Amino acid sequence: MSAKESNKFAKGVMYGFLGVTFWSLLDSFEQEDNRTIERQKKERHFALCRSVSNSDYDKIHLIIQESDPEEVNNCVRYEVLSGAKDERELRKLMKIFNFTISTDQEWKRLLAFSLKEWGISGRSKLSTWILSRIDPNLIQPHEFDEMLSGAIKKYDVPAVEALLELSPSLRAKSHHLDSALKYGELTVDMVRVLVERGGVTPSGAQLMKVVKNEREFICQKEKDRFMELISLLVDHGADVKYMNDQFISPYELVSSPDVRKMLKL
């Protein structure tokens, strides 16, 4: 290779390196911008939730004025209205901020927002009321799946019950039960709804996760709920013969005679 060719080759390598570096930096800036936008959206949402909860309507008006009209239509209005506790408060917010919800698609979107885990938490009457307005035939399986997951994460038992009553074809799945079991005996009411009305058959692995949480309970009520949870899983099909990859069964993990009696083959 001549000196001229070597120089040309070196320039090509340098320009190539600079090009890769430029696009890498550009991609990095775009990712940082996206993270900033997501952070701002979450901050706005929490501010809206706080403002609705505190009836700080001036703050909500300010956020609406500072937001892009398209963003208000597609997101902010749903964030504001999903903060309502019930139909009465929803109607009040719609009147104050001149928001309307009329089509089935809009009602479904409002329902999805009301069931988000980062929304107003805890047994809201709003979700169940919205469900009464929606045609079950318009809810797709993937939409139902997301709605049910949201209601479980919020521990909104009435909303879960209402969702499971929509249609015989819309049933809970094993991953929904996994979500409900994350907090053990604290979620026994949710687990009961899923196995008794949601058509979920508990697995041996799920039973194993529960019995691993056996401990010295603070009070008798806590122990009773733990026993009730195990009973629900076993009575609805959890395999007591299940063994993990170390060939340990649920029976071998527990020490309580009462629990062992429930798991005895």
pLDDT tens column, 111-139: 888 887 444 455 468 888 888 888 888 88
Evaluate if residue 259 carries a pLDDT over 90. no
More confident residue, 256 or 52: 52
pLDDT above 70 (res 36): yes
Residue with the bigger pLDDT between 11 and 241: it is: 241
pLDDT of residue 29: 55
| 107/2: higher pLDDT | 107
Q: DSSP letter string over 222-258?
A: HHHHHHHHHHHHHHTT--TT---TT---HHHH---HH
Higher pLDDT, 73 or 257: 73
pLDDT for residue 119: 45
CB 253 within 8 A of CB 214: yes
For the residues 96-105, what does the mean pLDDT come to? 93
% of the chain beyond a pLDDT of 90: 33
Does the pLDDT at position 162 exceed 80?
yes
Residue 57 scores a pLDDT above 80: yes
User: CA dist 170 to 26, 55, 175, 191, Å?
Assistant: 45, 37, 15, 17
Q: Which residue type sits at 75? A: C
Q: What is the structure's pLDDT at 35? A: 73
What secondary structure, in 3-state letters, does 13-55 show?
A: HHHHHHHHHHHHHHHHHHHHHHHHHHHHHHHHHHHHHHHHHCC
Q: Does 249 have pLDDT greater than 90?
A: no
Of all residues in the chain, what percent carry a pLDDT higher than 70? 82
Across the range 219-240, mean pLDDT stands at 87
The mean-pLDDT minimum among 21-30, 71-80, 180-189 falls in 21-30
User: What was the pLDDT predicted at 118?
Assistant: 46
User: Quick one: pLDDT at residue 20?
Assistant: 58
Q: How many CB atoms lie within 10 A of CB 51?
A: 19
What gap in Å lies between CA 229 and CA 190, rounded to an integer? Answer: 10
